[in-house]
Amino acid sequence: MPRTFAMIKPDAVQAGNVGNIVAHIQTAGFRIVGMKLVQISLQQAQRFYQVHAQRPFYGELVEFMSSGPSVVLALESENAVQKWRDTIGATDPAEAAEGTIRKLYAESKGRNAVHGSDSDENAAIEIAFFFAGTELVG
Ligand code: IDP
Ligand code: MG
């Protein structure tokens, strides 16, 4: 079964929305195969978002991502990557569709509540970045 990588970002953890977002994930039909609370270091955030290193918002992004605890998840379903992107909505909550997680819980384009992988290849890389094999259920 295909997998994707999801993160509940520090803004949503801080706002007390972990439970709401986990419920949304389960209602949407994903099987959670990995989940834990982590405090991401600045260095980890820089590596995780390396692809955006040349973008003007990179410094703000990695500082935000290491500013407080996040919840990381590995999710399984048919078409997991695209299905999770559809469930979270557009990067900017002002452009996110009604009922999507970012529409419901994101504060801004930067503090946008959740992360989702953009390809099967990156999903595998991102799951391995945060989870040991023993932390994922079969
Ligand atoms: P995505 O999370 O929807 O895939 P990306 O373009 O991959 O969006 O950007 C990664 C993250 O960088 C976003 O989720 C958001 O937190 C942050 N970000 C993207 N664009 C901006 C911006 O214009 N200003 C501030 N932060 C941004
Ligand atoms: Mg992205």
Domains of the chain, residue spans = 3-37+70-135
Going by C-alpha positions, the residue among 131, 61, 71 that lies closest to residue 91 is: 61
pLDDT score at 92: 98
Of residues 3, 102, 111, 115, which has the active-site annotation?
115
Q: Are 34 and 113 in contact (CB under 8 A)?
A: no
Is residue 90 classed as helix, strand or coil in its secondary structure? coil
Query: What's the rounded Cα separation, in Å, for the pair 71 and 74?
Result: 10
Condensed to tens digits (0 to 9), the pLDDT of residues 47-100 reads 999 999 999 999 999 999 999 999 999 999 999 999 999 999 999 999 999 999
Phi-psi region of 61 (alpha: psi -120 to 50; beta: other; left: phi over 0): alpha
pLDDT(138) > 90: no
User: The whole model's pTM is what?
Assistant: 0.98
Clarify whether 52 is annotated catalytic.
no
Confidence band (pLDDT; 50, 70, 90) for 126? very high
User: What ligand is nearest to the CA atom of residue 49?
Assistant: 1
Return the CATH architecture of domain 3-37+70-135. 2-Layer Sandwich (3.30)
Q: Which residue is closest in CA terms to ligand 1's atom 8?
A: 91
**Average confidence (pLDDT) over 41-48:** 98
pLDDT at position 35, please?
A: 99
- Is residue 125 within 8 A of residue 12, CB to CB? The reply is no
Relative to the CA of 85, which ligand 1 atom is closest?
A: 3
